[in-house]
Structure formats: C-alpha cells, structure tokens
Chain A
Amino acid sequence: MNKLDPSLKRLLKLSRAATAPEPEQAPFGFSGRVVASAKPAQPTTLLQELQQTAWGIACASLALLVCGGLVLLNQRASATPEPEISSALNFVANNILQ
C-alpha cells in the first residue's frame, strides 16, 4: 500500500490533535425538530374522503336552506300575489275542484 510522506504524516498527526471533541448529546430540541421535519404527509383514507364529502354536502345543504328561507321571507314581505295568479287560482277552485 502506498505510504504517505513522513512529514505529511506528522502534519496529519498534528491535525488529529486539533480535532474537536466528539459530541456527546444532541442539542436541546434537535430530535424534536428532526422528527417534525421528517413527519410524512399522511395519505387520506377512504373514510376520511367520505367524511370530507359529507361535510361538503352538509354545508351546501345548509347554505341552500338559508337562501330558501331568505327568499321566503322576502316574498312574504312583498305585495299580494299578482292578479293573474289569483284569477288562475279562482279558476282552478271553481271549475276543476267541483
């Protein structure tokens, strides 16, 4: 095996003596940081997807109900039905229901 120059060997020996001491412990919070960074993104399960869909549908339904309620309130606050509609209702009551 090829040998190093004796002077170079001495230089390496000096360098070894200057090497910093080995770390004994991880710095405070290091392992926590590593574990937090390494935490893989959990793949969503079918159940979770169904839950998300159900929540979406529930929210949409609630929004629809609220809109419907608002429309009804608005209609009640407005004027009496149009004459054409009331005459049509009278026609139905007089001719068809008899």
Chain B
Amino acid sequence: MDLDVADCLARVRGQDQDAARSLVEYLYPMVTRIVRANLPRRAAEEELAQDIFVKMFQKLEQFRGDVPFEHWVSRIAVNHCLNAIRAQKSRPEWRMADLSEEQAAALEAATSDHTHNPDPTLLSGARELVEMLLEALSPEDRLLIRMLELEELSVDEVRQRTGWSATLIRVRAFRARRRLNKRFRTLRAEGRL
C-alpha cells in the first residue's frame, strides 16, 4: 500500500478522519508485526495494536519529522509492548520435566541437528520453547533477541526501530546472548540426565 505520509499527516492534523483511517491501514502491517513479536502472555494482539494507534494519534503533535514517521510509530509500538511485558508478572523458572512432548522433541531435534523437513508439530514446539527461553530475559533483552535473531534485523535497523544507540544495542545483545546461552545449556544438561 502506497501512501504520501506527509500529505496524509497534514490532513490528519486538519481533522480529516478519512486520512486518519488511511494512515492506520498503511501502518497496520508494521505495527502488528511488532506486536506479534513482543506480545505479552494472555494479551490480545488487536487490542494492543489499537492502543498503539490511539497513542500515536494522541502524540501526533509531538512528531517533528526528525526521523521517518514509520520509525517514530515503530518506537511507540516497541515502548508500548515493553511496558505491557513489564506489567505482567514473571513466570516461575521451569525445568526440563515441565516441557511438553513437542517442546522436548524440538529441543532434541535442535541439539542433534535433525532439523531437516521438520513437521508442523516440531515447529510449534520450537516456537513455544523459544518463547519460554526468552521469558528468562528482561523485556528489553527479549525484544533485542527477537529483532536480531528471529527477525534477523541489522543493528542499524534495530536502532531505527527502537531509538537506542548502536553501542547500547551491541552491549545489550552481548549480555542477552550470554544469558540465553546459559539458560539453554542448563536446560539441555537437564535433558541429558
């Protein structure tokens, strides 16, 4: 979907509701992608996306045009998701025995490198397992690992989306990877017992 963002923003500021709707529709895929990647447990995707758009309209007067509008909205979305994740209670630590059959199979497949032609059950087990591993991290570290390792974004792309400096991203990513490795190795060691 193509949209002249500058023109659309001018119309939105002039209380044009059609322009506001067009802006929401244009940004919807990007915002939903961020929401899906950082969705807190039990949170409704659409509700979270709606809150982000409402916040965007409320803050619209603060947009000075220093960065592309999409990046500005992306930062609102990222911060909103981080706040939602912080608001939820942390889960107690889980152990190997807590894993479902699919999650254990995914762990086994990843460890033994039997990941060719995986079936959908294995994939969903892997996804759940990754979510559980990420929950051991802080919301910021979780976000960073998702962007760098799951979405495969570059440091510069993460910088644009989050507004964090490249140095902060590198330092945070280093610590987050170390924590994640530690958590994963502990789990794998339990599985061997």
Contact = CB atoms under 8 A, between A and B. Distances in A.
A27 interface: yes
A15 B129 contact: yes
Interface stretch (B18-26, B79-87, B135-143): B18-26
B113 interface: yes
A10 B115 contact: yes
B100 interface: no
A17 interface: yes
A34 B17 CA distance: 10
Contacts, number: 121
Contacts of A32: 21
A1 B166 CA distance: 13
A21 to B, nearest CB: 10
B30 to A, nearest CB: 9
A13 B115 contact: yes
- Give the 10 A-B CB pairs with smallest separation, nearest first: A14-B126, A18-B123, A38-B57, A11-B110, A31-B24, A26-B28, A31-B21, A15-B130, A18-B127, A10-B110
Interface of B: 17, 20-22, 24-25, 28-29, 32-33, 36, 46, 49-50, 53-54, 56-58, 106-107, 109-111, 113, 115, 118, 120, 122-124, 126-127, 129-130, 133, 149-150, 152, 170, 173-174, 177-178, 180-181, 184-185, 188
